[in-house]
Amino acid sequence: MPTSNTTKNSSLTGRCRSEVSAILKKVRKIELRTRGLVRESFGGEYHSCFKGEGIDFEDFREYQPGDEVRSIDWNVTARFGQPYVKKFTEERELTVLLCVDISASENYGSLGPSKRELMAEVAALLTFSALQNKDKVGLILFTDEVELYLPPKKGTAAALRLIREILLFPPKGRKTSLRAPADLLQNAIRKRSLVFMLSDFLFEEKLSSELRIVNRKHDLVAIQFSDPAELSLPSAGHVRLEDPETSQQVEVNTSNPRVRRAYLKAVAQWQQAIDQDFKRLSIDKISLRTDEEYLPPLHGFFKQRKKVEAS
């Protein structure tokens, strides 16, 4: 009946409005928190740690004692009859790309925020730091394929869209592979960029050597996200574990200490292999957990990065 359909549509509209309102509140909350962190401390660390690529010619000026002889422009010097040097300014503007894994495993969160929600907040922090530094920020969302690419832009509207897409974009794929985003970064993104790759790196394949090539072309930083329930098993009797990306299930007796020890050993070996792969590929990595504050590890990385840049 028309009345029934109208009521149903009205109910759906009301629910959609409620969902949109909740989403906007979440995005706004992330914006306010991360903008505050940028103003308080993080923006300054970003600015001092990451610098633009190359220098731009600005003007000529008269030679002064202490100037390097090689900076003299002999054509201008001959024209004016006295030495002139070229004046350069550093190109501060960076292109920043957030390469974010939105495969099924990122939706997991045992205690509070999911890994994907934490990724959105960390991505927002990096985005607003970059915007304060007058950098452009773009986004790559991937699973086992590139799901979405947003070219680098400036401005608050672009930043808020990035946050929304990281939180809400519905992926086609469930699995993870770094080959597709690596190929995009290597072959389609021409300008050298600062690339933050956000993922739990929960996949069977070894980290591709393609990432080494990407790291030569761009400045690549990996940020690994994990949840405490993935790292150890509680003593809870017989439980069914499911791989969110393949839907494969296995039943285990978590009350058995040998089972828990075997699980811990397997996780440790997997993590060690990931760390060794990043080291082999000469890629910096930051480790974050959903049950811990993310600022201390980020601060630690930026301080270490600044020391390396200065040396």
pTM: 0.79
Domain 38-49+93-310 - what CATH class?
alpha beta
- Segments in the chain forming alpha helices (H): 2-37, 43-49, 74-80, 115-132, 156-168, 179-187, 210-217, 228-231, 257-280, 295-310
**Residues forming CATH 3.40.50.410 domain(s) in the chain:** 38-49+93-310
Share of the chain above pLDDT 70, in %: 86
Supply 232's token pair. Answer: 């150890």
Which residues lie below 8 Å from residue 86, measured CB to CB, with a gap of 6+?
57, 60, 71, 73
Section 244-258 average pLDDT: 90
CA-CA distance, 48 to 65, in Å (whole number)?
30
Letter for the amino acid at 163? I
* pLDDT for 24 beyond 90: no
pLDDT at residue number 11: 43
Supply 216's token pair. Answer: 């030569």
Q: CA geometry: angle at 266 spanning 263 and 268, to 5°?
A: 110
pLDDT at residue number 8: 39
At 135-186, the pLDDT tens digits run 999 999 999 999 999 999 999 999 999 999 999 999 999 999 999 999 999 9
At 173-205, the pLDDT tens digits run 999 999 999 999 998 898 899 999 999 999 877
pLDDT at residue number 49: 75
At 203-221, the pLDDT tens digits run 877 777 778 888 999 999 9
